[in-house]
Structure 1
């Protein structure tokens, strides 16, 4: 079910050997090493080019004379309104009163609603009071209380009270891929957020291993109390890309990644 602390670092990942790990297994398809090398080189070249253009800065006056194919420095400059001014209950807030602000809000709301905190009643209510329009908070609380049942907790590998079994790491994360405004007025906006998600229990003997999913969340937002708030929320599957050929990581690698890698504040 799916209704943020910045950290940085570099991680070197070692693919697990084939064995009994529920996260391991054969690759989904074979591709030549030469193709992989070409892909890596291509990505590095693109990154170098992007950094070079970004560092040029400039006033957007255009390319130098005699080279009409060279892009303006402004084409790679950061754009948009500052996404947030602060946080409440750990959730970014203080969005711009425009379409960009609505999209930033919807993306960050998707992260909160898809987080592991939603599986804890107290934390869930704090989230709802932060991102739901005041007139609808009680309705959302009652609806979700009926959804987060002992049977649901058990289905995702948790104890019946929603706690995580000893020796395991519970994973529930949503990552926005993109946003789109489908309707807007001065104080109302309907935004679609395309997301990928992770859900499951990381552990050597887990019967509910962490799996990925793709879905689109549609939120109707309204400007209330000086910020964007959710009025209604719905979700549908996809769009879903074709899986790659990466081998699934071990349970230990998955747990470590979740514990050591923080989330982000999203902006349009």
Structure 2
């Protein structure tokens, strides 16, 4: 609203007296115009306009935060795609309808649902639970399509070998040395659909990751990495399940100048901050 809307500064005549008013030059004011004195009263039009703006803002906030559409906030067939709905922009669509343990399940049969599935499955497949054989098998049977479970399970059982566990600072059986906190987390940054059809999808998930041992005397301190996971998904039993999973390094940003935290602080953060259900 301009300053002349309420007749406070723009007119030469007072609205009620008909007398000529002289506007004095600004004097003694600072760079923000405090030397100019506003009218003591507020016109009815300004008050109504101000209240109207507040009401509209409240309505907009309530609309944006609403949690229970009959269709879960999903766009209908008649609604056009928003121009700002880009691959990494949130859409507000509810990501899942359920969970299997700690892993989200029940994704929508849409591109958004496929992206949410890929992001959540990337988190599960990059977690510390993958270093435990029994937990790893449970994760695999949850996120992989039935036709891919046996092959993927054998491949990962070979990959998570005794030598590999030792390389990351664990015991040969994947257990954590006493006094240490093992950290393995995958954090999705964004997702992108590379291919989508009625019953299949290919999704890329750009991630950062944490891996290492936090504790006094650790020879494998927690480090960060950047990588992109490509996941092929199939619509199986009313949900998206992974057919294959591959990974390549990057894109990686320039490292910042934040001072590395001590082992105790890192361990406290890992134990104190839980993960998320990731949604497109």
Q: TM (normalized to structure 1)?
A: 0.72
Q: What's 1:49 paired with?
A: none
Which of the numbers 132, 148, 151 marks the counterpart of 2:163?
Answer: 151
3-state SS in 2 of match to 1:145:
helix
Q: What's 2:41 paired with?
A: none
Which of the numbers 190, 211, 214 marks the counterpart of 1:199?
Answer: 211
Q: Distance in 2 between matches of 1:55 and 1:206?
A: 53
* Preserved CA contact (<8 Å) 1:81 1:96: no
3-state SS in 1 of match to 2:216:
coil
Q: Distance in 1 between matches of 2:162 and 2:205?
A: 29
Deviation (angstroms), 1:53: 6.7
Kindly provide the CA deviation profile for residues 27-74 of structure 1, in whole angstroms up to 9, marking residues without a partner as x: xxxxxxxxxxxxxxxxxxxxxxxxx978743779xxxxxxxxxxxxxx
Matched, 1:117 2:121: no
Deviation (angstroms), 1:204: 1.4
Structure 1 unmatched ranges of 5 or more: 1-51, 61-74
* Preserved CA contact (<8 Å) 1:167 1:203: yes
Map 1:64-213 → 2, pairs under 5 A: 79-213=91-225
Kindly provide the CA deviation profile for residues 206-244 of structure 1, in whole angstroms up to 9, marking residues without a partner as x: 000000000000000010011000001110000000000
3-state SS in 1 of match to 2:117:
helix
Query: In 2 relative to 1, CA 53–102 (structure 1 residues): closer, same or farther, beyond 3 Å?
Result: farther
Matched, 1:57 2:61: yes
Q: Distance in 2 between matches of 1:110 and 1:264?
A: 12
**Larger relative contact order, structure 1 or 2 (CA cutoff 8 Å, min sep 6):** 1
Q: Distance in 2 between matches of 1:238 and 1:120?
A: 27
* Preserved CA contact (<8 Å) 1:89 1:127: no
Kindly provide the CA deviation profile for residues 144-188 of structure 1, in whole angstroms up to 9, marking residues without a partner as x: 110001100000000111100000000000000000001110111
3-state SS in 2 of match to 1:57:
helix
* Preserved CA contact (<8 Å) 1:81 1:101: no
Q: What's 1:231 paired with?
A: 243
Query: In 2 relative to 1, CA 106–78 (structure 1 residues): closer, same or farther, beyond 3 Å?
Result: closer
Q: What's 1:242 paired with?
A: 254
Deviation (angstroms), 1:82: 1.1
Q: Distance in 1 between matches of 2:59 and 2:262?
A: 39
Q: Distance in 1 between matches of 2:228 and 2:59?
A: 35
Q: Distance in 2 between matches of 1:255 and 1:54?
A: 41
Q: Distance in 2 between matches of 1:185 and 1:106?
A: 15
3-state SS in 1 of match to 2:134:
helix
Q: Distance in 2 between matches of 1:54 and 1:83?
A: 26
After TM superposition, where is structure 1 displaced by more than 4 Å over at least 4 residues in a row?
A: 52-55, 75-78
Deviation (angstroms), 1:90: 1.6
